[in-house]
Structure 1
Amino acid sequence: MLRDKDRYLNILLISPSILAILIFVYAFIGWSVRVSLSKWKGLSADYTWNGIQNYLDLFADPRFQIDIRNTLIFTGVFVIGSILLGFTLAVMLDQGLKGESFFRSLFLFPMAISYIVTGVVWRWLMNPAGGSRTSGLNLLFTNMGLDSLVNQWHTTPTWGIAAIALAAIWQMSGYTMALYLAGLRAIPEDLKEAARIDGANELQIYRHIMLPLLSPVTLSALIILGHMSLKVFDLIVAIAGKQLPLDVPAIYMWQITFDGLFYGRGAAVGVLLLISIAVLIIPYIRYTTKIEAEQ
């Protein structure tokens, strides 16, 4: 009887949170899906059924095709760069580096900064202006005699979005470093010692022992960084504003919804972003749940 009373009390305590999630998350998702299937354009709500026409028009829009290309480029550069740099930093710290706590905090510090602040700083660092207005990284390269590295950064045609990914790498590589460092510290030292006794060098140990054991960490990093890259908005706006060559779905959704008042198509973009993120997150959640149940 007492156990049933505790169960009901626990349900009562969490019921406000459950109700809030049902209303402000799932109910609004359902409402967004309904709006995406309507002809709503303008300030007055119009729920006239439009089927999947908004989605068809979206994929036929050349601007949205640019958005998809930019998202793929940004995601590839950001995820691969963050993982490689984070893993390298973790390996360096795992060698018993003197002052490890200081460097660990130093590498993690950018993560505590918002994307807006990061964007403002990197807008100056990646200033494409030349001549007497040269500043940031271009000025550093010029003073060091590395003129070949001077470039137009985010104003470069086609690949300008990759330059913005550098700022995201700077911000999130410390987080990836923390993931890998925790994974490295969890690997028993006996395994590495046994490999050394068998004649394996350090490169072979990392390739055949450490990396396979770190595959769950790599998967986690891929999922976390991947879903962040799909919804990037504030970093791009802070660095370069709203420019078509640097356009991504989140910026397109904002402009077409709140500037163009085309709520039907804007909701369609939001639903597509939700689906793309769910494609990454849901299999990962099922995988981790299965692993935990087996343990």
Structure 2
Amino acid sequence: MIEIENVSKRYNGLPAVKNVSMTIRAHEFVTIVGMSGSGKTTLLRMINRLVEVDEGTIKIDGVDNRDVSGPQLRRSIGYAIQQHGLFPHRSVAENIGTVPGLLGWTVEKTGERVDELLSLFQLDPAIYRDRYPHELSGGQQQRVGVARALAARPNILLMDEPFGALDPVIRNKAREDLQKIQQQLGTTIVMVTHDMEEALALGHRIAIMDGGELVQFAEPADVLRNPASEFVESLVGKGEKPFRLLAFASVEDLIEPGEASGSPISGQLSLRDALAEFVAQGKTSLPVKDENARIVGQITLDSLVRNGSGTP
């Protein structure tokens, strides 16, 4: 658990972060979103003391982070950045093994961890272990960067715009991979992004920064339905809000009795994807199937639209 209590930071007398308090639960994925200069990166970097707080405290599992030396603290917290920060003259295995080496792991233990992580990120160890960063694609470099951040099995992973340099297709795949890995490992992740779509897609909760202040900290659906300010409303986007809301509910939430024609859709499908099916099939109702492909009812376009608009 990360407890941020009344934290402030100033540069040349000007506030970058103003009296921010928030608690990030263990195993939670929190995204921090805001415009450039909003203080989101400064707040992130205060957690591992790459930036020192001026006022307030940050506790990790109940321990003030200033009670631990900076290097020791940073070796226990994974950190991944936009440009991945790989050492160009070290192989993939050497890059991933950097922190385990600093912590005194044996060569055998480090090698096993390297292979484990490469496999987890769908990079065949036999093929990629001895390659160098310049021999990898941008998406592969980013995956190796995240693998390096996870190498010493940290309980916490901090990420600063990790996918910003990737093209849209690779970026979406990287998001999906990160979600799956977070679910598998249970790592607490705090990620800075300027992309509201990314924040909504990844975060269990979203922290929204504006002018150094924390203006809202809530679950994605709550941010969409109840934006705390005009600034948050503008980030959400009024025109895109209904479609974004549809991503946070599934077809099984709106199943009704009855029969419908058309190709059945899964009850696990998001309402956003279900809307695409309605458009593709040109229907106003569709049959719904369960995991055993049995028809369990129907969903109507009318109920889906009401859900996206927030109307009961």
Q: Which has the higher contact order (CA 8 A, sep 6+)?
A: 1
Normalised by the length of structure 2, the TM-score is: 0.25
Higher normalized strand content (fraction of residues): 2
Normalised by the length of structure 1, the TM-score is: 0.27
Higher normalized helix content (fraction of residues): 1
